[in-house]
Every structure is written in C-alpha cells, then in structure tokens.
C-alpha cells in the first residue's frame, strides 16, 4: 500500500493518504490547539471529531468564528454525490455537521448532486441518480438534522434559483481554471465542465434569498476541496464572502490497508446492512492484530493500521481514556482481535438499529426537508 | 463591403452575406420548388417569406412534413437573445413563425436566453438581461402568437426542467465539439461552454413533458444553425427526434451595404420608435438610387443593394406584381428615392402604430404566455 500513489480528487480517493501533505498541496490550514480553544468557547466540550483531529484542516474557520462572535450568523453547507448507498463513512461529516447545527443554531443547505453523478458516470441515467438521491436523503434525515433549519437541494429538480446563481458563478470561471483544478479535458462533457458552478451555489443561496451577505461554513471530506477553491475565487467578484471550510479525513474501510470501495461491499458497512451482515463484515475485517492469539499475546497488535480500531476512534468510542486503554491493550497483547471485533459489532448494530428506525420514519418527511425556492 | 469577410456566428454577423455559400458551409439544404409545393398543400397560398425565399434553407423540413402528413403533430421553437431592444429585423422570423403556428395549429416554445446574453457580455448583469427579456417579450406577444399555444421560456427563471434536460444534453456534448463549432477557447467561461445544452432544451421539452417523442421545427435566422448542429447530434442519444430547421436571411439595415448594428441605432428601426424617428431613419437611409434626381431618371437605380427595397420585399409589400413593378420602376428611373422612402415610412409607421398598441396591451399578459413547468 505505501507504494500506491496518493490520489485525492472529488471523484477518486486512493493510495495511502498523507493528510499533512494534503494540507500543503491544497494550501489549507491545519486545525491548531489555539483554534480548538476558540471553538470550545462556543461548543463547550469539543466534539470527538475535533478532539481527535478527524476534522484536521480548514480555510477561514478562524474568520467565521470572529464573524460569529461579532454577531454574524453563518450557514452550513455540505452534500452528497448520490451514486450508491450510504455507508458509515459518509455519516462521519454529517454527524459533525449536525453537531455544528446544534451548537451554532445554523441553517444547513445540503446539496444532492444527482446531476454530477449522472454527468460523471457514463452508464447512469438521471432517473437513477435522482432515485439514489431520494434514498440517500433518508440517511441525511436519519442523522437528526433540524427539519426547520435544514434544506436539501435536489439539483436535478431545483427551481430556477440553482441555475440562475450557477450562471453567475460560471461567468467568473474559465475552462482553463477547471482544467487545471479538476483535470477536465477536451473530451470532457460540457455538463461536468459547468458543474463546479452548480456545486458553488449553496454557498451563496442564503445571501441571494435574504439579500444579506451571509458567511458559509462547509464541513466536508477534504477531497471536495477543489470545488471550494474555484468557488472562493469567484465569491468576491459576486459580492459574496468566500465560503469557509473545515475538512475531515476518510473513515478507513474494512479491507487491508484501510481500503474502502463501493465495488467491494465487504469493505464498508452500509446504513441499511442487517445485523448478520454487520457481524460478518466486521468478523472478516482486516486488523492490526497477529495471525494467532498466541502471537498477539506475545507481540501485541498495531492499532495504527487497524480498521476496527479506527471505527471506535471515528465513531464508536467517545471516551478518550477508554480509547487510549484500547490502543495500549492492543499493543500489549492484552486484547485479542476477536473480542475487539465482537464489541464493535454490538455497537455498530445498536447504532444501525436506531439509524434504520429513523431512516424508515424519514420516508414521509423528505418533502419537509426539501429546499423550496422562496 | 464585398471585400469584408463574411462572418456568421450566433454572436456576430458581418460582411456581405453569401447565402448560397452558407448552405454549403453549414451543410443545410436549399428550399426547393418541390418542397414549396409540399408546404403549399397545407398552407394554401405560400407565405411571402417562402415565396421570396427569405426562408431559404432547411434541415429535415421535408421529413417533418411527411410526419405531419402521417398524423404526427410537431412543435415550433424559436427564441430571442435579449441584449437590447427589438427591431423590425427581429420580427421577420417571428411573423413567419406565427404563420406556421396558425396554419399547422402548432405549439410554440419561445426561449428568452437572458442567461446567454449575460454570459457573453462581460459588462451585463443577469438582472439587466432579464429586464430586457421582459421588454422583448412584449414584442413577441405583440406579434400575435396564440396565448393558448405559446410558451415563453425565461431561461434564468425557469424551473428545474430546463437544467434537468440541459444536463442530459450536456452529457452528450464534449468541449472539443463546442470548441470546433462555436470557437470557444480555454479562456471561455464555463457558463457559455454549457449554454449550447440549454439552447437545445426547448427542442425536447414537449417530448419530455408528454412522454411522447414529438418532432420540433425551428424557424430562425441561419446564424443560430451551429446550436442545432450539436443538438441534432445529441438528440438520437437521448431518444428524441433531431429538430428540423428552416433558416431565414437577415433583413438588411438602413446603412450602406445593408449594415445593421445595435451600436448604430440609425441603421435599424426599433419596434418602439415613434413616428418622427421612423421618418428620420428612413429618410436618411442609404439607397440603391443615384445621387441626383436627374441621374436617377437617366440611369435608374439598383434595388439589389437598396435597404428601402428590401424593407418592402421582406415585410411591407405583399403583392408580388407590385414588388416586381417597384423594382422595374427603380431600374428604369421611373421612381425617385424620396417617393419610395415616403411611401415606406407611411407603411412602417402604420405597422408600428398597431404593433405598439398590442405591445402595450401585452404588459399585463406576460404571465399568461410564460412557460410553467407542469
């Protein structure tokens, strides 16, 4: 794996991810202790994903907090490219976004880019990606966002405001720029070439509706950063604030080397997986442990390469001291992989039972969450 | 003028237009006598603009008539790029389109491309082009289209269907194609690169709404042909018929060499010009006549280079024998330019008085004509 070249684009993430290097390459800022202190003033106890630097990088997060302290509310914006079912890794930034919505009382614009997924995948129809968008919306709603302050934008259905704002952004972005930033080529279709303007729209939708320039904070995985680079360039030309961002890491998959791939369903736990599938996937997962119990007891395991460990770390063990103990016990050979897996499986199943219950309830509530042009 | 190179693109028309050459360069078909006979079966007396070959070229017009004869209705589609006020030249294809609507009982989709004009003109705001679109819509309505069968599409306001269909077209068009067809460059903005997909939408909107593949006929000036070339390539991939087209020539301007330019308002008669302005513009127009009355009587004039003559020919003298007499009288020096101009001015003023009355009435009817997503 370490030899596999790191690729992080909005459409492909592969190889071993070096997050420090991404900060340098993308030109973002690391989340410092000082910044965490600033956040803590507003949120009280820091969220797990901040304490553990799962959200590790940002642009202008300090600025948006200054604005907030000066009395300017901000809106949140995140989204989903609906190409298939939602897995637990997708929930990571959503859970954090819900936390931000709760503590800052912020509106959330959630964009479902069924247009993008249609334009990128040669074999997909728009009906298909739109159907997936509705399915994925159930997971968004099940995450627990406030229905009064959450607006799901279904790109392919959206009223004129989406296109109207998109052309305004588009006029400020050239083909050279999107070629350089996204690697588009002469053979790229003109829909995907235009799409960066569409993905920019939710940053400005609140400002456009209210007529008041409103800061926007985007919590999302770092692979989406290229979109915000072009959006940030266009923003001042449109009279809007540049959107601030906070970037998270990727939840490793259950395969060797943390590989997670939609084409390898055993490497990820989908939100609709039944308990026996969760048991099986976790039981079969690659770990940082030794081949035999004897060796594990003798030499200990390596949590730093263990997907099971990362599942606890990202989502399923909120207590930092317990987390620390788990890592030590593993390294000292005081816990075996089987035990660790069984405990995780119980927690994942408990989490999914609740998520699936809310997901079913969400079926009748999609309209309530959908953004409607005022 | 003859030395000025002919340029005919959707955004620029200049030089002396060689319509025969355009047919060859664009790869369209001339309108033959045989085709006119076929049309006549349905329309009765041929419209002036067909008899005089103002509509001179087509694609698949024979096919759409065959379809019609086999019981398949077609829809009409034309439009306007709202960059400024409407002049009489713009009315030429609209008048013909109204004729087609009347005789074939066809629905008309009329696209107002306020998005295109915003994307093309660096200094225009979308508010401005949208305001112009509403102003221009008054002229569309005043042309007399059937309100029950006419649907004005305001691009920048349109519901999701415009963007939803546009992405489906866009997926089938590459940057190489629009680069070759429209001359887009790396420095072109991504909005205008996407725009050919938007201009394609009204060809398919009836089919998309009804679920029934419906032929579409586009009457428009020939400079718009590049749009339909890319649209026709995409259509079969989307399961739709290729749109048929019928192309018209440009009404010459009042300047020397038939020049008409929005930046030279004296070269064209706007639909809102008051009578005294019409008098002045026509009186000051270039003509095919001689410098003095004596020379005119002696040598005669040349109607083939005379904008005044073409105004009669395109719009203001329906009687072919009178038209023939006028040309002969001019060539024989039996009519002087002043007389010819005064008579034309009377007709234009009479036409505009009626148009302006209907244009005012139209102010309260725009909503009635606007396309609404079902």
Q: Do B163 and A115 touch (CB under 8 A)?
A: yes
pLDDT for the residue A16: 81
**Where in chain B are the domains?**
7-250, 256-360
Give the C-alpha distances (Å, rounded to integers) separating B336 from A174, B266, B268, B348: 55, 22, 22, 19
* Highest CATH level, class, for A7-250: alpha beta
SS3 for A177? helix
Quote the minimal CA–CA distance from A50 to chain B in Å.
37
Quote the minimal CA–CA distance from A5 to chain B in Å.
29
pLDDT of A134 > 60? The answer is yes
Q: What is the mean pLDDT of residues A260-285?
A: 91
SS3 for B77? strand
The C-alpha atoms of residue B4 and residue B15 are separated, in whole angstroms, by: 5
The C-alpha atoms of residue B80 and residue B133 are separated, in whole angstroms, by: 8
pLDDT of A3 > 60? The answer is no
Strands (E), chain A: 7-9, 12-14, 29-30, 55-59, 75-80, 108-112, 150-154, 216-221, 244-248
pLDDT of A261 > 70? The answer is no
Residues in A whose CB is inside 8 Å of some CB of B read 115, 118-119, 126, 155-160, 162-164, 166-168, 170-176, 178-179, 184-194, 196-197
pLDDT for the residue B261: 66
* pLDDT tens track for B72-112: 999 999 999 999 999 999 999 999 999 999 999 999 999 99
pLDDT for the residue A2: 44
Q: DSSP letters along A241-309, please?
A: PPPEEEEEPPPP-SSGGG--BTTBGGGS-BTT--HHHHHHHHHT---SS-SSHHHHHHH---GGG-HHH
pLDDT for the residue B17: 86
Angle, helices B160-170 vs A160-170, to 10°: value is: 50
pLDDT for the residue B16: 81
pTM of the model: 0.91
pLDDT of A1 > 50? The answer is no
Task: Select the residue from A117, A120, A152, A167 to test the B interface by mutation, using most B Cβ atoms within 10 A.
Answer: A167
Task: Select the residue from A191, A196, A237, A372 to test the B interface by mutation, using most B Cβ atoms within 10 A.
Answer: A191
**Which CATH topology does B256-360 take?**
Tyrosyl-Transfer RNA Synthetase (1.10.240)
The C-alpha atoms of residue B368 and residue A138 are separated, in whole angstroms, by: 38
| Closest Cβ–Cβ partner in B164, B172, B186 for A175 | B186
Quote the minimal CA–CA distance from B154 to chain A in Å.
10
pLDDT of A259 > 80? The answer is no
pLDDT tens over chain B, length 374 residues = 445 678 888 878 777 889 999 999 999 999 999 999 999 999 989 999 999 999 999 999 999 999 999 999 999 999 999 999 999 999 999 999 999 999 999 999 999 999 999 999 999 999 999 999 999 999 999 999 999 999 999 999 988 899 999 999 999 999 999 999 999 999 999 999 999 999 999 999 999 999 999 999 999 999 999 999 999 999 999 999 999 999 999 999 998 877 676 678 889 999 999 999 999 999 999 999 999 999 999 999 999 999 999 999 999 999 999 999 999 999 999 999 999 999 999 999 999 999 999 999 999 999 999 999 88
Q: Name residues whose C-beta falls within 8 Å of residue A125's C-beta, 6 or more positions apart in sequence.
A: A118
Q: What is the mean pLDDT of residues A120-129?
A: 93
Q: What is the mean pLDDT of residues A26-53?
A: 95
Q: Do B118 and A175 touch (CB under 8 A)?
A: no
Q: Do B170 and A119 touch (CB under 8 A)?
A: yes
pLDDT for the residue B256: 84
Q: DSSP letters along B57-68, please?
A: EEESHHHHHHHH
Q: Do B164 and A156 touch (CB under 8 A)?
A: yes
pLDDT for the residue B262: 64
Q: Which residues of B touch A162 (CB under 8 A)?
A: 160, 163
Q: What is the mean pLDDT of residues A157-161?
A: 88
């Amino acid at each position: 794996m370490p030899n596999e070249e790191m690729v992080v684009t909005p459409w492909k993430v592969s190889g071993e991810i070096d997050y420090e290097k991404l900060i340098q390459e993308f030109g973002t800022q690391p989340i410092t202790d000082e910044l965490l202190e600033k956040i803590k003033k507003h949120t009280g106890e820091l969220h797990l994903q901040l304490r553990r630097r799962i959200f590790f990088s940002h642009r202008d997060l300090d600025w948006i907090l200054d604005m907030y302290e000066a009395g300017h509310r901000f809106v949140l914006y995140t989204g989903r490219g609906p190409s298939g079912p939602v897995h637990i890794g997708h929930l990571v930034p959503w859970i954090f976004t819900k936390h931000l919505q709760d503590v800052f009382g912020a509106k959330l614009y959630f964009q479902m880019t069924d247009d993008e997924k249609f334009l990128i995948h040669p074999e997909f129809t728009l009906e298909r990606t739109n159907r997936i968008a509705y399915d994925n919306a159930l997971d968004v709603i099940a995450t627990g966002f406030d229905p009064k302050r959450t607006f799901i934008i279904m790109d392919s259905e959206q009223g004129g405001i989406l296109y109207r704002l998109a052309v305004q952004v588009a006029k400020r972005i050239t083909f050279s720029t999107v070629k350089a930033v996204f690697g588009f080529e002469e053979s790229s279709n003109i829909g995907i070439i235009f799409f960066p303007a569409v993905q920019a729209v939710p940053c400005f939708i609140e400002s456009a509706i209210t007529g008041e320039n409103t800061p926007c904070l985007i919590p999302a995985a770092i692979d989406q950063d290229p979109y915000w680079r072009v959006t940030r360039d266009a923003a001042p030309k449109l009279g809007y604030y540049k959107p601030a961002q906070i970037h998270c890491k990727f939840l490793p998959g259950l395969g060797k080397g943390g590989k997670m791939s939609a084409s390898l369903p055993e490497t990820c736990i989908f939100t609709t997986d039944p308990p026996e599938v969760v048991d099986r996937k976790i039981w079969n997962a690659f770990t940082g442990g030794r081949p035999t119990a004897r060796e594990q007891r003798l030499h200990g395991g390596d949590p730093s390469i263990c997907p099971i460990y990362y599942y606890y770390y990202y989502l399923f063990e909120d207590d930092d001291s317990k987390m620390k103990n788990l890592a030590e016990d593993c390294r000292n050979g005081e816990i075996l992989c089987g035990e660790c897996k069984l405990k995780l499986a119980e927690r994942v199943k408990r989490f999914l039972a609740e998520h699936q219950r809310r997901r079913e309830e969400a079926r009748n509530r999609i309209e309530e969450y959908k953004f409607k042009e005022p």
